Structure 1
Amino acid sequence: MTHYDLLVIGTGSGNSIVDERFSTQRVAIAESGLFGGTCLNVGCIPTKMFVHTADLAVAAGESERFGITTRFESADWPAIRDRIFNRIDPIESDGRDYRTNRLPNVTVHPEHVRFTGPKSFRTESGFDFTADRVVIAAGSRPNIPRIPGLDAERVDAPGYPVLTSDTVMRMEELPRSMTIVGGGVVAVEFAHVFSALGVEVTVLVRGSGLLTDTDETVSQRFTEAFAERHHVVLGSQIDTIELTESGVLIEVGASDRVPEAEVPAPFTSDVLLLATGRSPNIFGLGAEAAGIDTAHGRIAVDAYQRALSGGAPLPGVFALGDVSSPYQLKHVANHEADVVQANLLADIATGEIGTAREDQLRRTNHHAVPAAVFSDPQTATVGATEAELRDFGVDYTCKIQEYSDVAYGWALEDSTGFAKVLADRHSRRILGAHIVGHEASMIIQPLVQAMAFGLPADVMASGQYWIHPALPEVVENALLGLEFAD
């Protein structure tokens, strides 16, 4: 039976692990999809390229308030799509070729692989092999909700008008209308993209707001701002769908989450986009055959990214990214991949599988993890929400600073943006920060840095220059507005 020193399952962040330091190891890489994983192919990178295009379209159509005359006329969808994927697809292809043909110690299995035992595996085509050490970096997949009339097996298939984020960016033509199911990150980003490009978009949300996993002020004010630009139906869910010659006939009912929710009469949409989150790719992985623990639908790992079995580390088995992490974020997966790489090398250096001591291993750092939503408006967040601080009984101080109260906010004519900062009233440490508005993902970074290195809020505010009249002054003023115990 073929034996490898190391098996890596998945080529998202897991693909970065094997470098020249593994040249003496016989390595197998298993990838049933596209090299580069979710972020490169169907997630972060292409979506943000579409978002920037959408931002330009929105700006062109809203220029009159600045005293100039421009307009958005139409979108050349094939040109937009091809500009993006003509850049991304060669990266995927080159990454696959590099691993497949240019590394003599690496064997690529371009198919699904599952555990048959703690260190034994079988490919979809029936090839059996073993490996001493394993990295599970299998990523995640879109959730497919149960909807009467929906053929779950045909979702994302050519010709079937029900799509997920895996396929919607590669449509052959721009539809006239699109209905999006969901109120989270994927839903609001694609709603912004397609409505900006001229598609009639309807967003169906079961709950009472959008981005409800974020801070309460963010969710409330984002929902209000977003609903001014988009057709959002709160408290609604799809009762049934039916494919007709005109498109997808959708019957909507109340979700019972919003009292007296007004739901629309049955309507037809060219495309139905399912944007109801993503689930870790543990189905079909055979984790149970290896004795690997799962928790909350994910591979259970310890602080060193070691997969657990019966609550204890399974020697030589690591996991990272969406398949094991509570953070479905590329920057977190990259950090975890760095940790796994360091710990693999430490384990290999001992000469025996799973014998590296914990003082020889690197711990994962999940403190001050930021996230952003690239919609209109943009949002960014780091740390605790106000509700979490209330629930834990923390004595905190809060300041909400409006974009409209700083000079660059005037330049933007921004009446919705704000920065919200939460800090401990006694230690003065920043506990959370939440921003909605122009370039939120950029101006939150100083707050991430302050939290990461324990910089007190008052020292951060007064101990450095803030460029005037740059937009980060909204952060400065939020910090200056915090009220401390002494």
Structure 2
Amino acid sequence: MTEFDLIVFGGGTGNRVASAAAEAGMETALIEKGPIGGLCLNRGCNPSKMLIQHATVANRVREASRFGIDASIDDVHFRGFVREVNDELAAVADRKAQDKRDQVNLTLFQEEARFVDDRTIELVESGETHTGEEVVVASGSTPVVPDSIDGIDEVDFLTSADALRLETSPERLVVLGGGYIAAELGYYFDAFGTDVALIDRNETLLHREDADVARAFTEVAEERHDVYTGHSATAVDESNGEFVVTAETEEGGSVEVTGDELLVVLGRRPNTDGVGLDATNIETDDRGFVATDDRLRTSVDGVWAMGDVAGNAMFKHTGDYEGEIVVDNVVHDAGREVDFTALPHAVFTEPQVAAVGRTEAELDKSGTEYVVGRAAFTDTAMSRALKLDRGFVKVLCDLESRAVVGCHVFGHEASILVHEAVPAVRYGLTVDDLANTLLHAHPALSKLVQKACADAVDAADRTTE
């Protein structure tokens, strides 16, 4: 048995924690069975956004005639750019692994492993055991595949990771799920000629977004795809290269949706049940996530958790932030607490979706009095230049304090625009503060957030008169 100052179990964002600890002089072990960089680099954010950009470029060419420019797409080298993206990222992962092997005080174990007690981890292939004075659990997440769908375990369906490696665009793709992964991949494949069908049990796609945004996005998706909202997949069959999905409504209605590929993107669950946590005293919550306190400590002294497995929010940017917290606390004993106030997120379709703060439904549930400010993309000079015919910014304002408590954007470059409001939500700025921020470069789209805040000021003034 080898003893380390720190063991990091998981080489996604956890690889940064391992390097920081080793740089600080801690004898550190990093354990990761797959490529370094984890889901985001190898099977998630990086390849999806790179491939989606290819889709956006193709769509821009198709739309060139709106600007009086004759343009056409002569060919699409689909297999070529899919390989190029994945090969580029594989090379990045390889370089990261080599950097770890070369780093002083750091030992990389690239094989499957499991816990055998609170701080001892066994390597499955070699049988070696290693213990750490401190341990960081960063084992990530895996796709949810519901066993309630009859036949799902008997068909060769795709996960999101598989879809990002397809070298031929399917003729007909059936997607189970209506969240952001389904939305993004539906947009991507549609751009390259795939007939996409989306099946989701909720009444709108992106149902966790503010209701106005979810409805607006669903309308756009219905223009591109066959959309079956309010339907739950109950059975799947595969025969002669064709998938048949049976989906039912709560009222008893039923449809059969067919395709030559089936993509299951019904959420992700934490990697806790397959890593031996039952051999430890590390507690998990009722959803299977490792339970952590505000310093990311688990129920076991000296054991910490971060990233998807901790369940605070399953985004790469939260994992990066949690990694900073863990480094400060484990390496530097800083006692730093997490603060997820004003956590933004974005969906990289076209139009994009982005949000920070609370939704109207959340404010209604809490009994908060609020007003809404709105600004339409079509009311700006830059939108006219870009020939945008849809989109809006929606700001939610606490009526008593006039603080910005939510901002929801549906439209071009929403992932950038939302950050106009992130500091406001984080630091309690008011709609008056943002409305009176005059130094916006004209005619930048960022003025839309200012316009929405000015509208909220008017609404608040009228309500309190």
TM class, shorter-chain normalised?
Answer: over 0.9
Query: Over the residues paired in the alignment, what is the CA RMSD in angstroms?
Result: 1.9
Partner SS for 1:240: strand
Q: Does 1:254 align with 2:248?
A: yes
Q: Could you list the per-position Cα deviations for residues 72-110 of structure 1 after superposition, in whole angstroms to 9, with x for gaps in the alignment?
A: 45421122212312321111001111212x124222221
Matching residue of 2:326? 340
Counterpart AA for 1:243: E
Partners of 1:369 and 1:184 in 2: CA distance: 18
User: 1:66 offset after TM fit, Å?
Assistant: 3.0
Partners of 1:362 and 1:207 in 2: CA distance: 38
User: 1:367 offset after TM fit, Å?
Assistant: 0.6
Partners of 1:85 and 1:113 in 2: CA distance: 26
Note the 1:39-438 alignment, pairs <5 A. 39-100=40-101, 102-125=102-125, 126-146=127-147, 147-151=149-153, 160=156, 162-245=157-240, 247-256=241-250, 264-265=255-256, 267=258, 269-295=259-285, 296-308=287-299, 314-347=300-333, 360-438=334-412
Partner SS for 1:299: coil
Partner SS for 2:302: strand
Q: Could you list the per-position Cα deviations for residues 25-77 of structure 1 after superposition, in whole angstroms to 9, with x for gaps in the alignment?
A: 22111101221011111111111111111111122223333333323454211
Q: Could you list the per-position Cα deviations for residues 276-315 of structure 1 after superposition, in whole angstroms to 9, with x for gaps in the alignment?
A: 111111112222322111113200001101112xxxxx22
Contact 1:402 1:416 in 2 (8 A): yes
Contact 1:142 1:166 in 2 (8 A): no
Counterpart AA for 1:55: T
The alignment of Structure 1 onto Structure 2 pairs a total of residues equal to: 456
Partner SS for 2:440: coil
| Identity score, percent | 34
User: 1:208 offset after TM fit, Å?
Assistant: 1.3
Partners of 2:233 and 2:245 in 1: CA distance: 6
Partner SS for 1:294: coil
Matching residue of 1:350? none
The 1:61–1:227 alpha-carbon spacing in structure 2 relative to 1, beyond 3 Å, is same
Q: Could you list the per-position Cα deviations for residues 128-149 of structure 1 after superposition, in whole angstroms to 9, with x for gaps in the alignment?
A: 2221110111111111123322
The 1:233–1:323 alpha-carbon spacing in structure 2 relative to 1, beyond 3 Å, is same
Partner SS for 2:332: helix
TM-score normalised over the length of structure 2: 0.93
User: 1:260 offset after TM fit, Å?
Assistant: 7.6
Gaps of 5+ in 2: none
User: 1:326 offset after TM fit, Å?
Assistant: 2.7
Partners of 2:145 and 2:106 in 1: CA distance: 35
Matching residue of 2:418? 444
Q: Could you list the per-position Cα deviations for residues 138-173 of structure 1 after superposition, in whole angstroms to 9, with x for gaps in the alignment?
A: 111111123322336xx7xxxx4x110112111232
Partners of 1:449 and 1:83 in 2: CA distance: 37
Contact 2:51 2:188 in 1 (8 A): yes
Partners of 1:151 and 1:411 in 2: CA distance: 50
Partners of 2:434 and 2:74 in 1: CA distance: 45
User: 1:454 offset after TM fit, Å?
Assistant: 2.5
Partner SS for 1:279: strand
Gaps of 5+ in 1: 309-313, 348-359
Q: Could you list the per-position Cα deviations for residues 433-479 of structure 1 after superposition, in whole angstroms to 9, with x for gaps in the alignment?
A: 00001000001111002222322221122133122211112111101
Partners of 2:369 and 2:244 in 1: CA distance: 48
Contact 1:238 1:250 in 2 (8 A): no
User: 1:21 offset after TM fit, Å?
Assistant: 5.3
Which range is displaced more, 330-339 or 126-135? Answer: 126-135
Partners of 1:321 and 1:190 in 2: CA distance: 23
Partners of 1:260 and 1:220 in 2: CA distance: 24
Partner SS for 1:17: helix
Partners of 2:140 and 2:444 in 1: CA distance: 38
Contact 2:5 2:28 in 1 (8 A): yes
Partners of 1:20 and 1:260 in 2: CA distance: 56
User: 1:238 offset after TM fit, Å?
Assistant: 3.2
Contact 1:9 1:137 in 2 (8 A): yes
Partner SS for 1:91: helix
Partners of 2:5 and 2:420 in 1: CA distance: 42
Note the 1:12-51 alignment, pairs <5 A. 12-19=12-19, 22-23=22-23, 24-51=25-52
Partners of 1:175 and 1:266 in 2: CA distance: 15
Partners of 1:239 and 1:456 in 2: CA distance: 47
Partners of 2:75 and 2:201 in 1: CA distance: 32
